[in-house]
Amino acid sequence: MYERYLEGAGVADRAAFAHAYAVLGAQRNLRIVGVFARLDRRDGKAHYLPFMDRVWGLVARDLRHPALDPVAEWLDRHVPPAWRTRPPARGAA
């Protein structure tokens, strides 16, 4: 679908598009991770947690872009890999 979009939209600078795509995707998916965690912690709505594995997988895909190396490094320092599926149990953090 990505290639089909590039061709159909007539994207001339594919490198710039790939950069913007990765940055926007990472921002969007990290926001979703935060919203799901907040809904669980603050609102007691744990039914969103099964989706965290998928969203963290999308974050990992986006972070493979070299422009996001600083973000990947920040996450490595501040978010333990074990938390990158579902957040820890309440009281564990």
Q: Which residue has the tokens 């991770």?
A: 33
Q: pLDDT per position in the chain (93 positions), as tens?
A: 999 999 999 999 999 999 999 999 999 999 999 999 899 999 999 888 889 999 999 999 999 999 999 999 999 999 988 888 876 666 655
Q: Give yes or no for a contact between 22 and 62, defined as CB atoms under 8 angstroms apart.
A: yes
Q: Which of 23, 14, 11 is nearest to 65 (CA)?
A: 23
Q: Which of 72, 61, 58, 67 is nearest to 19 (CA)?
A: 67
**pTM for this entry:** 0.82
Q: Give yes or no for a contact between 67 and 22, defined as CB atoms under 8 angstroms apart.
A: yes
